[in-house]
Every structure is written in structure tokens, then in C-alpha cells.
Amino acid sequence: MKKKNPVFNFFSSVKLALFTLCLLAFTSIIGTIIPQKESIDWYIHNYSEITARIFQVLSIPDMYNSWWFLGLLTLLSINLIVCSIDRFPGVWKQVKADNLATDLKRLSKMRLTSSWVSNKSEEELATDISNRLAGKGWKTEQRRRDDSLLLFSQKGAITRTGVYIVHASILVIFIGAIIGELYGFKASVMLPETQATSTAFETGTGKSIDLGFTVRCDRFDIEFYDSGMPKAYRSKLTVTENGKVTQVKNIVVNDPLTYNGITFYQSSYQGYQDFLLTITDQKTEKSQTITLPFQQQQTLNDNSRIGVINAEAMGQSISRMKIWFKDDQGPASTFWINAGDQVTVERPGKKYTIAGKQVYATGLQIARDPGVWVVYIGCGLMILGLTVAFFMSHRRIWVLIAKENNETTVLITGSANKNKTGFETSFDALSKELEADTSNGKQ
């Protein structure tokens, strides 16, 4: 065995892996107990001046992005890489091994063996046994070894690489996370109804980010269950690029809108004191939407006037509003509208549809993460690797056929690197069947 340098040995050791994993597990607890990403004043207020300073020095307020936590993750990655470089070639050798060149003396000493004699010729037996094995999914190869014939068959040689698939998957996930960190962003915006924006504000830094297109919130609605629990938060978003509407979608929590790789998630809302009213003349189908504050009158394009004179609220959200409306004919109409509903208002000689609701701003999370698919591929690899590493084994069977005097002896032996008891059962059944089919006394 070649001598390795001590640095390489250190980074390839499992001890280091265990040590790093223990440290990661232990230090991760800190951030679940001490609230993260609060302001320095918050820590001073809730702990003490000194404690807050210590926190700051150790980056505790943002520990999962701190130099030392990222350092531990880097150490784990280096450990994974070096350990795999160290061990993988050996495992690959086993996968690619020429099992027909194996030491024949070793075969009879293996734990699972069975042998019997037959009066058929070597070649006849070899063909017979390999056909029978093939019928059970064991494809055989054979080679003449000295004065005997060796058959070999294996299943799942590649499953030996399962552990390395898991290790690689962790690195792939890290790469995906780094891509997201470098080329993606997380931002948010509070967008009042009917308003549009082409910039978002980065989470944490507050830096403004140019989206490259415009997104408008046409409408925001909250639906409630009878119990008063919220049932759905819904924003109707319209995307405009170069003056053209390119996408319209109603988004709800768990169903975002994606445009040009940027995704908009429904995340919060804010209720305003203002009202959003839509007045439609039913004959001309001319429609006008206005935003107006409580108890203020506004004149519309056709010179009619409208205002909200009363409202009922449930917490922050207005449940119904009383409208005052007057066109050029007759006295004013007053009526109630349930939030989000519309009513028909009959005026002398005219009919209007009037819809009203409170003005909301929708809170959107905005994210671009080009690394997310890399992360998902890593996750898929991890599940694949774990399944292979834990539940699939490399099973091998050798059959040695040797001529001795007038008889031919058959020696069958096998091994598995995992689930040994399961393999033993199937090996016993297989060898008994082969023996029954090919030994003397059976034609």
C-alpha cells in the first residue's frame, strides 16, 4: 500500500466526518433558541449589552450564514470529497473485478457452499447449469481454469457505489445552494391594488432590484370560512413587458406566478382605509374604477358623484360599506354593498352596476433561484443513493465444475455484501434446486 501524506489522511478520515457532524448538530441548536436576524438593539434589549456584543462577535444573530458555520459545512464538503477520492477507486475495483480470475482455493472455504457429483460431462453440466441460472435471472460467464470450468454470475455490482451517490448528492445540493446564493435573489414588495411596480426590495439589505418587467396587482381578495378562519388569499397579477400584457394569473399561497425565471409568492397583505369602487353604466357598458378615502366624495367622468359614507369592519378587514351615489337625475341613492360584491342601482332612466371593496395591498415574496433544480437533482440522488446503499446488495455466485476420475464435481458458492441472511435463504434454495436437477440419480 502506498504511503499517503498526513494531511490527506486527516481529511479523508471518518473520525473527522463524525466530529464535523457532531459539531454541526450541536451548534445548529443555538439558532433555534436565540432568535435570528433581529437588530442589535433587539438583542441588547432582550439579553444584555455584553451578551449582545458577544453575539455580534460570534455572528450568532445570523449564525447559519456565519463564517464559522459555513466553515464547518466547507470542512464537511472537503471531508466528503477527500474521503470519496480515497475510497472510491477501491470500491470501483470491486465493481469491475474479474471474478473469474478468483483464487479457486478460496471458493471452497467460503461460508455458503454446496457441492454434489454428477456423471455428466463438464461441458454438458456447464451449459445445463448456466441455462438454469439464466432462467432465474443469473447471467453467467465462464472460463477454463486449469483442469476445471468456472462459472460466475453476479447481481447488483453497481450497488456498491450507493454510499458514494449519497455523498455526491450532498455536494450537489451544496452546489445548488451556492448557485442560488450567487445568481439568485430573494425580495419582497407590498403592492397596493391597481398599482404596478418594476422593482422589488431585496430581503435583508433592502437593495432595489430591477425586475425587467412590470407587475401589477389588479385585485386582492381574502376568502373566509364560516368560522372566520381565512380560507384563501388571492391576488390577480398582470405582467407587462415592453408595454404589452404578457401574463395574467390569480396567485394564492402554494400557487405562485413565474415569469422570466422570477417567481411571485402570495405571502401577506395589508388593509387600507381606502375603497376601490367600480361603476358601470349598464346601457353603455362604460366602466370606471376609482380609489377613494372614507367619507370623501369624488366626481366621475360622467359627472355623477360617489362616496362611502359608512362601513363595518371585522378586525382589519371591512365587511360591508354604505355608498352614496348621485347622477344628474333625481335625489341621491344610498345602499350597502358587501365587500367584494356588486349591486345594481336603478336611477331615473339609467341602471348602474356598482362594485365595492376595501383597498388592500398584497405582500409578495419575489425569488429567483437558478440553483433550485440542482438542489432537487441532489435530493433525488440522495434518495436513490440511500435506497441503493441500504436496501440493495451485491450478490455473487460461483460454480466450479471439475472432472475427477469418472465423475464430475460441482461446487457452488456465493456471497452478498448486505442482507446476508436473505441471501443465504435464496442461495440455499437455488443450490438445492440445481443439485436436484443435475446430480446423479436424476436423468
Single out the residue of 360, 378, 325, 357 nearest to residue 180, CA to CA.
378
Q: Does 426 bind other proteins (CB under 8 A)?
A: no
CA of residue 173 relative to chain centroid, distance: 10
Residue 162 or 307 with smaller CB distance to other proteins: 162
Q: Does 186 bind other proteins (CB under 8 A)?
A: yes
177 Cβ contact partners less than 8 Å away, ≥ 6 residues apart: 371, 375
Residue 256 or 414 with smaller CB distance to other proteins: 256
Instruction: Confirm if 323 and 356 have CB atoms less than 8 A apart.
Output: yes
Q: Write the single-letter amino acid at 265.
A: Y
Q: Does 208 bind other proteins (CB under 8 A)?
A: no
Q: Does 73 bind other proteins (CB under 8 A)?
A: no
Q: Write the single-letter amino acid at 415.
A: S
Q: Does 95 bind other proteins (CB under 8 A)?
A: no
DSSP string, 241-264: ETTEEEEEEEEETTB-EEETTEEE
Q: Does 386 bind other proteins (CB under 8 A)?
A: yes
- Residue 30: burial class (beta carbons within 10 Å; 0-12, 13-18, 19+): middle
Please identify which residue in 265, 275, 352, 398 interacts with other proteins, judged by CB under 8 A.
265
259 Cβ contact partners less than 8 Å away, ≥ 6 residues apart: 213, 215, 239, 246, 247
Length of the chain: 443
Residue 217 or 323 with smaller CB distance to other proteins: 217
x-marked contacts with other proteins along 349-368 as a string, rule CB under 8 A: ----------------xxx-
Residue 57 or 229 with smaller CB distance to other proteins: 229
Region of 126-134, 204-212, 296-304, 381-389 interacting with other proteins (CB under 8 A): 381-389
Q: Does 379 bind other proteins (CB under 8 A)?
A: yes
Distance CA 110, CA 97 (A): 18
Distance CA 306, CA 296 (A): 8
158 secondary structure, DSSP code: G
Q: How far is the CB of 422 from other proteins (least distance, A)?
A: 11
Three-state DSSP class for residue 199: strand
Cell numbers at residue 20, please?
464535523
Q: How far is the CB of 38 from other proteins (least distance, A)?
A: 13
x-marked contacts with other proteins along 266-305 as a string, rule CB under 8 A: xx--------------------------------------
Please identify which residue in 390, 392, 426, 439 interacts with other proteins, judged by CB under 8 A.
390
Distance CA 163, CA 166 (A): 5
Region of 240-248, 313-321, 383-391, 409-417 interacting with other proteins (CB under 8 A): 383-391
Q: Count the Cβ atoms, other than its own, within 10 Å of residue 218.
A: 16
Q: Does 64 bind other proteins (CB under 8 A)?
A: yes
Q: How far is the CB of 267 from other proteins (least distance, A)?
A: 7
Residue 368 or 396 with smaller CB distance to other proteins: 368
Give, as ranges, the residues between 1 and 40 that touch other proteins (CB under 8 A): 14, 17-18, 21-22, 24-25, 28-29, 31-33, 35-36
Distance CA 393, CA 379 (A): 22
Which DSSP helix (H) or strand (E) runs through 345?
Answer: strand 342-347
Q: How far is the CB of 63 from other proteins (least distance, A)?
A: 9
Q: How far is the CB of 404 from other proteins (least distance, A)?
A: 40
Residue 177 or 430 with smaller CB distance to other proteins: 177
Q: Does 382 bind other proteins (CB under 8 A)?
A: yes
Q: Does 263 bind other proteins (CB under 8 A)?
A: yes
Give, as ranges, the residues between 213 and 232 that touch other proteins (CB under 8 A): 225, 227, 229-232
Q: Which residues pair with 338 in a beta bridge?
A: 320
422 Cβ contact partners less than 8 Å away, ≥ 6 residues apart: 416
Instruction: Confirm if 169 and 404 have CB atoms less than 8 A apart.
Output: no
Q: Which residues bind other proteins (CB under 8 A)?
A: 14, 17-18, 21-22, 24-25, 28-29, 31-33, 35-36, 64, 177, 186, 225, 227, 229-233, 252-256, 263, 265-267, 365-367, 369, 372, 375-376, 379, 382-383, 386-387, 390
